[in-house]
Structure 1
Amino acid sequence: MDLNTITEVVRRPPDRPGADWREGDAWLAGGTWLFSAEQPDLRRLVDLTSLRWAPLVPSDKGLEIGATCTIRDLYAFTPPADWTAGPLIATSCEAFLSSFKVWNAATVGGNICMSLPAGPMITMAVALEARYELWAPDGTTRTVDALDFVTGDHRNTLTPGELLRRVEIPAHALRKHATHRRFTLTRLGRSTVFLIGTRTPGRSDLMLTVTAGTTRPVRMVFDTLPDAPTLQQSIDVIPTDVWFDDPNGTPAHRRHLTKHYAEEIRRELSAGGTP
């Protein structure tokens, strides 16, 4: 879509952009959402792709994902063999409801900052215990837990002019045992619920991440594997207003699916698969 209110595009911002941020500005990365709808309040776009941030930096500490990394490049990444939770990266990419054009242009940071319930990069980041590095216009930097970043449907903790610079996934999370469950109304549809469970090797703990069915990510952490009733009760205490309601599912439907798939995840990650 043509954005006929835009009067300027900053093609080569400084390495630390944001100092001259003003009302009516927007950060431009993939632009797959930005150019899909009218943006009557915008006057200027600041192109982040020209900064050429490294898309993927694996190390002994884990994986650093640049905010402008495309979904295409993330999907093509081959995790080290000892990152047993590494396949969750490709699984999350495959959860996108997108055309090949979006797949090749959409960015990890853009999906996270859109903060939609079904954002699969949000699911991946929370399940893998990521932290986000945020840059403010005044030059300061802060780091937030991925779990705390999204606060509701299309809402997050970003302040005006602040941007997501990188996603940092720790190595210990990438070395966990992991499994997932996802439900859609159609084969290639938007996620109605998307759950990921992880367990530390050599331990009987469980971390369950619930997304898509809720307006913000929900994380449940158990030091020891819970029995079925305890897990179900933990889901029951999710506040009513946190369950998402749209044409892909009612809150009651999403709660039912979450409880069903959570039990499957619990059984799969339990030692010997005992109930």
Structure 2
Amino acid sequence: MDLHTVVEVVSPAAVGQWRPGDAWLAGGTALFAEPQTDVTRLLDLVAAGWTPITVHGHGLEIAATCTVADLAGYAGAEHFTAFHELATACCRAFLASFKIWNVATVGGNLCAALPAGPMIALTAALDGECLIFGPDGERRLSVTRFVTGDGATALAAGELLRSITLPAAALTGRTAFRQGSLFAHGRSAVLLIGRRDGAGLVLTVTAATVRPFQLSFAEVPDAGELAAAVRATIPDDAYVDDVHGLPAWRRHLTARYAEEIRAELAG
């Protein structure tokens, strides 16, 4: 979609250049998807040339401008087995063409904050921490706190998402992935990821809910304990209600997939 109100593009852009009427531009797949009548200037982040994925001693840092294709094709850090398993599954959850994979970015998916965003699921499940740049400096926030609702994030005016760091401790070990949709090739209506964390279990719920929810257990719970924890953690009004699925159905699938993941990772 043409953004007919835009009169200037700043490339490359920096944090201090932001002013009312600006929008940060990375892949643009969300920005150009609907009218943006209040946007008069685009600040180009891709031209900044951030390295898509960087390996650190403490884990992986994924630039906000890292494309889905970059993520799916990344073959480094082979010992981070959980990352590679989940990255592949979450990239496929886009159900998008190679054209979208080559343009859409990890950061854009988080900032769009759509419940079905698979990059939200990936980074939340792997305990991702967002690095945020803004006029007042930088701050860090977990992915589960960064996405605050359907289409809403914790970003303040003038702030941008620079990168997401995944800690090494979360990038290995066994994982389990479940995705549900009303259609064989439809948007994710429920997406759950489980991860063994030592003797315990970490369960992340996305797509079914307006924001990501994460449940952590010191030891793998039994079926009853898990079901009770899911009910206590996710309020009924947090389940999404749209054409891709009713809240009751999403709640049912969430409980079913949670138990499947528990049983799979308990073995």
TM above 0.5: yes
Which ranges of structure 2 fall in alignment gaps of 5 or more residues? none
Alpha-carbon separation, structure 1, partners of 2:53 and 2:61? 6
In 2, the alpha carbon distance for the partners of 1:252 and 1:240 equals 9
TM (normalized to structure 1)? 0.93
Letter in 2 for 1:37: E
Query: Distance in 2 between the 1:160 and 1:59 partners?
Result: 30
Q: Give the whole-Å Cα distance in 2 for the aligned partners of 1:261 and 1:221.
A: 16
Q: 1:84 touches 1:178 (CA, 8 Å); kept in 2?
A: no
- Gapped runs of 5+ residues in structure 1? none
Q: Distance in 1 between matches of 2:152 and 2:219?
A: 33
Query: In the TM superposition, what is the alpha-carbon distance from 1:58 to its structure 2 partner?
Result: 1.6
The reply on whether 1:232 has 2:227 as its aligned counterpart is yes
Aligned to 2:4: 4
Which amino acid in 2 is paired with 1:266?
A: R
The residue aligned with 2:125 is 127
Aligned residue in 2 for 1:197: 194
Distance between the aligned counterparts of 2:134 and 2:30, measured in 1? 22
Query: TM (normalized to structure 2)?
Result: 0.96
Match of 1:181 in 2: 178
**Selected match of 1:242 from 227, 238, 245:** 238
Q: In the alignment, which residue of structure 2 is the partner of 1:60?
A: 57
Q: Which is further off, 250-259 or 79-88? A: 79-88
**Percent identity between the two aligned chains:** 49
Matches of 2:174 and 2:98, distance apart in 1: 31
CA deviation profile, 1:186-238 (whole Å, cap 9, x unmatched):
222110100000013xx431110000000010101110111101111111222
Deviations along 1:111-151, one digit per CA (max 9) or x if unpaired, are 0000110110000011000100000023x000001111111
Q: Which residue of 2 aligns with 1:69?
A: 66
Find the aligned partners of 1:19 and 1:221 in 2 and give their Cα distance. 39
Shift of 1:168: 0.2
Query: For the residues of structure 1 that align with 2:119 and 2:206, how far apart are their CA atoms?
Result: 11
Segments of 4+ in structure 1 off by > 6 A?
none
After superposition, residues 203-222 of structure 1 pair within 5 angstroms as 203-222=198-217
CA distance in 2, matches of 1:247, 1:215: 14
Partner deviation per Cα, 1:59-78 (whole Å, 9 max, x = no partner)? 33211101101101110012
